[in-house]
Amino acid sequence: MIIPSRLLRLSLGVSVCVAATSVAAQAIAPETAASSATEAGAQQQDPAPIASFEQWLADFRQRALAAGIEPSTLDNAFAGVTPDPSVQALNQQQPEFTRYLWEYLDAHVTPSAIQEGQQLLISQHALFQKLQQQYGVDP
C-alpha cells in the first residue's frame, strides 16, 4: 500500500525528472535539436528522447523499489507511459524559464500575494503544525 506522501513524491519526481531530462537534452545539444527540426520530414520524432526516458524510467524504478514501493504499483503507474513531445515543448516555454528571474518575481510576487500568504499561514496554522509533526517539513 502506498502512503499518499509517497505517491505525491513519486509523481513530483516523475515531473521533475522528465523536465530535467528535457532541459538537459536541450542544453547539451541545442544545435542537434535545431538541425533535426530543419530536416524536412526526415523523422516524425527523434528517438533520443525516448531512449533517455527509458533510461530514466529504469533508474527511477530502481530508486522507487529501494524506497519500498511495490513493483505492482510501479507497473500500474507506468503502464503505457511514454514521453509526450508536446509537454516537453510546453515545458520550454514556461515563463519561469523564458524571462529573467526578477521580471517573473516582479509580476508574481506582489504585495497582495504576500499579504494573502501571510494570512493563510495564520489561518492554517493548526494544519501546518500537524504536517510539520507528521512529515518533518517546516511551514
Helices (H), 3-94: 4-28, 30-38, 47-66, 71-78, 85-91
Number of H helices, E strands in the chain: 9, 0
H or E element that contains 125: helix 125-135
User: pTM higher than 0.85, yes or no?
Assistant: no
What number of other Cβ atoms are within 10 A of residue 66's Cβ? 8
List pLDDT tens digits, range 74-126.
Answer: 999 999 998 888 888 888 788 767 778 888 888 889 999 999 999 999 999 99
Per-residue model confidence (pLDDT) at position 101 = 83
Per-residue model confidence (pLDDT) at position 20 = 45
Residue with cell 529501494: 66
Domains of the chain by residue range: 1-29+48-99, 109-139
